Copies of this chain bind each other. A is one copy, B any other.
Amino acid sequence: MPSQSNPELLSELFNLLKPHLAELDGFLKKQINSFEEEIREHVAYCIDTSGKRIRPSLIFFSGWSGDQVVNDKLVKLAAVIEIVHLATLVHDDIMDEADIRRNRPTVAKIQGNSTAVLLGDALFSHAVYLATQFPTSEVSEYVAMAMRNVCTGEILQTMKRGDPDISRDNYQRIIDLKTAELFQVACFLGARLANRSEAFVQAVRKFGRHLGIAYQIYDDLTDLVGSEEKVGKTLGTDIATGKATLPIILLRDRLTDGEEARLRQTLSGKGDVDIDFWLSKLSETGVVSDVRNAIFREIETAREGLGPFSGNRDVELLGTLSELLWNQVDLLQSRQVGI
């Protein structure tokens, strides 16, 4: 259980990461100039600096080289992984027909879908180009594989959209590919570039994978339960667009026959979308609580592998990061659902 409050944890991590993230921002901004002049403004808009930088944080912590030491190789790797992530967001917004991301219009909204497709492609290409600038091909190899897996996860998700029969295994596989993949590669390559032992590299890789799974389940849960950062947002857009996430899959199996039929209709786009009804059902049936526990289990699994290395500064920092997510999930539960 967490011993510190969220604001304390956040400010501790923020202070430690500050010089690393400042270097990363500088490095990212410099990349804009390697694009052709006419498109730099568009690229700059994509490489925005308001993200949570979770993947870069995983890289910096997995290869932590001392509290005052900023490792250039890790900064470059963080830029590669963050640009890949930003490219997927540009493409995601086309598919979701999203108008707003991080409080401003999406690239697709401003530039149109064609330019958004191409800008995402250009960002992908540049990330890979940067990855080829490491002395060994390991970085570009793993980044390319991770990119393919992220896209595959998104394709599977698209294929399953509107399918009321999606199983928990299907869901698990989708989030493993679309989210956990990049988290695990961030940790893996971060530790590799810092020349850590093979045992440690594999341990942080596993940590990254399970933290990624936990994070995605949390993210999906906030579409239904609401979180601090998402207050004021429309809840239930996943149900409304036929995207069955873990809470919905669990709920489906706890409903009366009539309710289940109604949920299936809703998911397949044929029925009405009475979000309030489903939100109250989620709470009533104990699904929110079970999903919360599923996230906690993933965080515990993530931490387990780090056990043999406890006491190390890197492990302490990764642990703090996971505690932050744990607290978020805890707050979500107690504040919004009132259990």
Contacts and interface: CB of A to CB of B under 8 A. Distances in A.
B125 A148 contact: yes
Interface in A121-155: 121-122, 124-126, 128-129, 131-134, 137, 140-141, 144-145, 147-148, 151-152, 154-155
Interface residues of A, number: 42
A42 to B, nearest CB: 7
Given A42-B155, A156-B36, A129 B114 contact: no
Interface in A76-104: 91, 94-95
Q: How many monomers of this chain does the complex have? A: 2
A119 interface: yes
A124 B122 contact: no
Chain A, interface SS category? helix
A61 to B, nearest CB: 26
Given A129-B144, A156-B38, A94 B117 contact: yes
Interface of A: 35-36, 38-39, 42, 91, 94-95, 112-115, 117-122, 124-126, 128-129, 131-134, 137, 140-141, 144-145, 147-148, 151-152, 154-156, 158-159, 177
26 contacts: A36-B177, A91-B117, A91-B118, A94-B113, A94-B117, A95-B114, A95-B117, A112-B158, A113-B113, A115-B158, A115-B159, A118-B155, A119-B151, A119-B155, A121-B121, A121-B124, A124-B124, A124-B125, A124-B147, A125-B147, A125-B148, A128-B128, A129-B141, A129-B145, A132-B144, A137-B137
